[in-house]
């Protein structure tokens, strides 16, 4: 039975392996990758991840990210230099980006172009908050007194090579300040004007131009999958770019199909083992019952007790008193040197002790000791002889057993 159970186990394990392999072939399994603190799921992919191309939205190469040697997630755009991704919100399809060198104002001046990319500024934040700002280069003494020109300094654009041009400031006046008018009293030079996205704008507090910029993407649309705790991906038909929601294997650990396969592979052999064990217990019980019933059909022994010759028991008081007594003298010794100790209490005889002797054998004992002895046993404690001519109380005893076997009938 055990061997058959093992055979069943191997057969079902093989079936489960085939099931898992066939299931794996139906859908491309894409695990969640990471770069630093950024989790990378569809529609994004990681170039260093050696993934199947269907693990990212491959029609647009901008969704293929890179991870640099500082564990920064790099976004590649077609018409501007790379940006670093600070956060990805899959449910709302948003990303926060910044400049790898930490100088977004420089990107706004010379290199900010989202055309031909799948990303755009979040319209919920920047629709009415894109400002045409003027960037000025002024000497350092301009900003030493707030009464002259209280404008914020952009340190990453400061010219540190020339002592007279030590700071860069900006203004938000529109139309742009006339450079000839401004340069006369303050010796400032207009660098350029640029559209700068800001979450808010107001004087006298200026926002930090180095704050992360929030971008959104609208294609592909996978927010419903993220909201339901699933992962977005291409359908099983490789000829189309249709998207579906799938269970995320990296978050669930084991796919649903794999769980079904494991349940079949483990549950059925376990059930067979349980059945085999139950059959073993049942057979054991039946064999025990058979032996019990068989034993009831065997002949039973009938024991007959036959009386043995009577054994001598204790003597009565009158008989004991007929045994001779002796009072020891000053020496405390008897004629026989071996009779100086009572064999019952094992004490030596002392002067004036009262002794009693057994007729015929003439063995001596303390009178009190032998009297108690003779009440229970009519023989001498030393030689076990019973005095002749004295009566004793007899008690029947049993020494032999005779067995007879008689069959018992039992209904089966």
Q: What is the pLDDT of residues 258-278, one digit of tens each?
A: 566 677 777 787 888 888 888
pLDDT in tens, 348-383: 888 888 888 888 788 888 999 989 988 888 888 888
pLDDT at position 411 is 43
Average pLDDT on 61-76 reads 94
Q: Quote the CA–CA distance of 24 and 13 in Å, as a whole number.
A: 16
Parallel/antiparallel/unpaired status of strands 45-46 and 64-67: parallel
Is the pLDDT score of 109 beyond 70?
yes
Average pLDDT on 27-49 reads 87
Q: Compare 172 and 99 and report the one with higher pLDDT.
A: 99
pLDDT at position 250 is 56
* Residue 166, beta-bridge partner list: none
pLDDT at position 172 is 57
pLDDT in tens, 324-341: 888 887 766 665 666 788
pLDDT at position 181 is 47
pLDDT at position 170 is 65
Do 357 and 363 contact (CB within 8 A), yes or no? yes
For 124, half-sphere exposure in the C-beta direction (CA atoms, 13 angstrom radius) is: 7
- Prediction pTM value: 0.53
pLDDT at position 195 is 86
What are the structure tokens assigned to 261, written together?
A: 């396969």
Report the range of poorest mean pLDDT among 22-26, 216-220, 319-323, 328-332: 22-26
Average pLDDT on 136-147 reads 62
pLDDT bracket for residue 295 (50, 70, 90): low
What are the structure tokens assigned to 70, written together?
A: 């500082």
Domains and CATH numbers, the chain: 311-395 (3.30.40.10)
Q: Quote the CA–CA distance of 30 and 255 in Å, as a whole number.
A: 12
């Amino acid at each position: 039975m055990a061997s058959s159970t093992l055979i069943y186990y191997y057969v079902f394990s093989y079936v489960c392996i085939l099931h898992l392999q066939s299931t794996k072939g139906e859908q491309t399994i894409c695990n969640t990758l990471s770069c630093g603190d950024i989790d990378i799921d569809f529609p994004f992919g990681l170039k260093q991840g050696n993934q199947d191309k269907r693990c990212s939205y491959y029609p647009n190469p901008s969704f293929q990210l890179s991870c640099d040697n500082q564990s920064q997630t790099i976004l590649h755009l077609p018409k501007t230099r790379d940006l670093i991704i600070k956060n990805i919100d899959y449910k709302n399809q948003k990303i926060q980006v910044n400049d790898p060198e930490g100088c977004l104002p420089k990107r706004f001046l010379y290199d900010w172009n989202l055309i031909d990319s799948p990303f755009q500024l979040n319209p919920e934040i920047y629709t009415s908050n894109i400002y045409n700002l003027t960037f000025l280069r002024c000497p350092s003494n301009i900003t030493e007194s707030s009464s002259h020109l209280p404008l914020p300094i952009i340190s990453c654009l400061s010219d540190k090579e020339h002592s007279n041009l030590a700071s860069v400031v900006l203004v938000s006046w529109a139309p742009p300040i006339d450079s000839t008018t401004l340069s006369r009293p303050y010796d400032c030079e207009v660098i350029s004007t640029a559209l700068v996205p800001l979450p808010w704008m107001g004087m006298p507090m200026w926002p930090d131009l180095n704050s992360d910029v929030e971008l959104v993407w609208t294609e592909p649309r996978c927010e419903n999958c993220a909201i339901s705790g699933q992962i977005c991906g291409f359908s099983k038909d490789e000829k189309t770019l249709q998207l579906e929601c799938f269970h995320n294997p990296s978050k669930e650990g084991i796919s649903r199909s794999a769980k079904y396969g494991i349940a079949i592979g483990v549950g059925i052999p376990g059930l067979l083992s349980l059945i085999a064990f139950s059959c073993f217990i049942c057979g054991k019980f039946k064999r025990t019952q058979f032996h019990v019933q068989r034993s009831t059909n065997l002949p039973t022994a009938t024991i007959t007790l036959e009386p043995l010759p009577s054994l001598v028991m204790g003597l009565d008081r009158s008989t004991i008193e007929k045994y001779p007594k002796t009072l020891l003298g000053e020496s405390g010794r008897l004629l026989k040197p071996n009779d100086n100790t009572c064999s019952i209490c094992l004490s030596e005889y002392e002067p004036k002790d009262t002794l009693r002797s057994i007729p015929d054998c003439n063995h001596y004992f303390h009178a009190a000791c032998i009297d108690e002895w003779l009440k229970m046993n009519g023989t001498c404690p030393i030689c076990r002889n019973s005095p002749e001519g004295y009566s004793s109380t007899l008690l029947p005893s049993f020494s032999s057993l005779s067995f007879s076997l008689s069959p018992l009938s039992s209904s089966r």
